[in-house]
Structure 1
Amino acid sequence: MNIGIKAFVGLVGCIGASMVAGFSAHAEGASIKLYALDCGEIEMLDLGLFSREGKYDGQKNSAVDTCFLIRHPDGDMLWDTGLPEGLNALPEGLINGPFHIKVPVKLTDQLQELGMTPADIEILSISHSHFDHVGNAGLFARAKFVVNANEYDHMFRDEARADEQTFASYKALENAKTVKITDRYDVFGDGSVEIIPTPGHTPGHSSLLVRLPNSGAVLLTGDMYHLTRARELRTVPRFNTDPEQTLVSMDVFEDLAEIESARVVIQHEKADFQDFPKFPEYLD
């Protein structure tokens, strides 16, 4: 995987340019919509966990948990599923280790505003399998599950199964129609939505590139970064599975952002969520 990433850094320019050209021709007049969904709130009670270099020791942070819906002429895709919506029944939320988590609005209620149910999602993909990104994944087991092969192995390993609470939220995906990917993946075959391998936070962590006809390219971080400061300082969380691989993935991510002139959306950054069109409005 490391070799593939380093090769990708050198190739991303010509690949990105050709994909943009192909997408522009295909998508003229196409209706592609990108929605930001409120999938929870997270008070980070010990921000020191997010820097092995000690940059945030003694600090706290208020974060959001964002999911994204892509409505494409060829199908509806959900990227990440947030915190379990069952937490909506606990107005004060709960403490989960170093996090105070809440779900003020259910993911399914937001879909309902668009006249949708979980069964209407044709494609499910996740940045990675941490609890705040797969909390409702089991609701979408009828969708085609597109996932990095290394992440699939990570989320169904024995240690993950032993975490009964988190595993219960996505175990139904083990029986889903699954597409395991190992490289960049063009979801709809037209260059409009690409899953980008950015491992290091977890073994198969991914980011998402969405090229919109009017708004241009949007690059969703997953947990490549948790904070705007993390992007500026290149800090690596203490709990990343591979710190060195994380730094390589940061280079890949930033090269792609520059080539695409992309709007970078840090999925846990409150300001980025607030700058997005308020649901049910969208980018197109």
Structure 2
Amino acid sequence: MRKLIVLSLLFTACASLPPAAPHAFVPSPAPGAPIQVCWIDTGGVTVPGGYGAGGSTKAATWEVTSAALVIRHPKGDLVLDTGISPHAQEEQRELGAWGRFTFSQTAGRNAPRRNLKEALTALGVTRPKALLLSHVHADHAGGVASLPDVPVWLAAEEEQLIEAELEHPRGVALPAHARALKGRMVPIPFAAEPYANYEARFDVFGDGSVVVVPTFGHTPGSVATFVNVSPAQRFVHVGDLINLRESIERNVGKSWLMRRLTDEDSARTQAEVAKLVQLHARDPELLILPAHDRRAFVELFGADEGGVPPCIGTPPRPSGG
């Protein structure tokens, strides 16, 4: 592993990204309903910082979380990503040799922490309105099978990826997860309406509290999700566009190794990272939350002390809408 990290650093020593193309900025409106957001840390690992970001990282180590977020809204509970499966090591055996190697260097390094279903029960979540996947990699779709009757929202391009994996598996998604998604996928109905510095959006609840935008590249249909808890507490969950928040400050992407192992379209992913840098410059109060940066989750939600998962915001009152 140390040799791989050194190789990654050599490839990314001068990894500054070119700027994103100029783009009009549409400020997000104030959220229309009180929401609560909770962090479920399903698994993780600690690796050298150079594994997470290009060039010379500030962080000596990358503290990894494979997280699910529970967004509690008056119109229902939404689960954003489902973390790593407790059966991931058994599930990866269906992969070919290269798939097993990639898994062993990425999602497969996670040690289990929380069971998604048990954590939802601790939060009082009985049946979510939907699962929303940033993308279908194993450490994001691992809990889909544990909630078999819940619809799964993802981009149409990601649905097409799963259909292709079911016909001719390449290992982009674990076969067990692809089977668990079959027949449950609901394409996200993006509207051609600008939001922040993006061209399209899907307003999940219709009130500006949760807005999804396309950020295709890491996978064909990967997305980012803006979560507006209150006017003073806003973040955007960016999936695996970056792994450490310092990438935005330093204007770099992921390490060469992580791009090589996990990005379906590395150039397009880098362009989306440049858009995040642009977004941060236009809206510096918005927290950019990489899906696997555990330190960023702790800063936002507080430490996970066991028992009920940590939450921010106001628990909503259910509505009949």
Per the normalisation by structure 2, the TM-score is 0.69
Secondary structure of the corresponding residue to residue 108 of structure 1: helix
* Counterpart among 166, 169, 177 of residue 161 in structure 1: 169
8 A Cα contact 2:245 2:296, kept in partner: no
Gaps of 5+ in 1: 1-5, 90-94
Alpha-carbon distance in structure 2 between the residues aligned to 1:156 and 1:187: 24
Paired position in structure 1 for 2:117: 108
Write 1 or 2 for the structure with the bigger share of helix: 1
Paired position in structure 2 for 1:218: 235
Alpha-carbon distance in structure 1 between the residues aligned to 2:234 and 2:89: 33
Is 78-87 or 246-255 further displaced after alignment?
A: 246-255
Gaps of 5+ in 2: 1-19, 91-100, 191-199, 303-307, 314-321
CA distances 1:210-235 after superposition (whole Å, capped 9, x unpaired): 11125432111211111234332412
Map residues 34-53 of structure 1 onto 2, 5 A cutoff: 34-44=37-47
Paired position in structure 1 for 2:252: 234
Alpha-carbon distance in structure 2 between the residues aligned to 1:163 and 1:241: 12
Q: CA deviation at 1:98?
A: 1.6
Per the normalisation by structure 1, the TM-score is 0.78
Q: Which amino acid aligns with 2:163?
A: F
Map residues 1-284 of structure 1 onto 2, 5 A cutoff: 10-11=23-24, 13-14=25-26, 17=27, 19-20=28-29, 23-24=30-31, 27=32, 30-44=33-47, 61-86=62-87, 96-99=103-106, 100-117=109-126, 120-158=127-165, 161=169, 163=171, 166-176=174-184, 178-182=186-190, 183-213=200-230, 215-231=232-248, 232-236=250-254, 237-239=259-261, 240-260=263-283, 261-278=285-302, 280-284=309-313
CA distances 1:229-267 after superposition (whole Å, capped 9, x unpaired): 433241242231222211221233233344443112222
Q: Which amino acid aligns with 2:300?
A: F
Alpha-carbon distance in structure 2 between the residues aligned to 1:165 and 1:252: 26
Q: Relative contact order: is structure 1 or structure 2 higher (C-alpha 8 Å, sep ≥ 6)?
A: 2
Secondary structure of the corresponding residue to residue 65 of structure 1: strand
Q: CA deviation at 1:87?
A: 6.1
* Paired positions, count: 257
Secondary structure of the corresponding residue to residue 156 of structure 1: helix
CA distances 1:104-124 after superposition (whole Å, capped 9, x unpaired): 22111111112223xx11121
8 A Cα contact 2:55 2:252, kept in partner: no
Q: CA deviation at 1:209?
A: 0.3
Q: Which amino acid aligns with 2:181?
A: L
8 A Cα contact 2:245 2:289, kept in partner: no
Q: CA deviation at 1:60?
A: 6.8
CA distances 1:72-121 after superposition (whole Å, capped 9, x unpaired): 111111111111034699xxxxx95224221122111111112223xx11
CA distances 1:125-148 after superposition (whole Å, capped 9, x unpaired): 111111111111123342232211
Alpha-carbon distance in structure 2 between the residues aligned to 1:195 and 1:77: 13
Q: Which amino acid aligns with 1:10?
A: H
8 A Cα contact 2:216 2:268, kept in partner: yes
Alpha-carbon distance in structure 2 between the residues aligned to 1:180 and 1:277: 27
What's the C-alpha RMSD, in Å, of the aligned pairs?
3.1
Secondary structure of the corresponding residue to residue 129 of structure 1: coil
Q: CA deviation at 1:271?
A: 1.0
Change over 3 Å in CA distance of 1:140–1:184 after alignment to 2 = farther
Is 147-156 or 124-133 further displaced after alignment?
A: 147-156
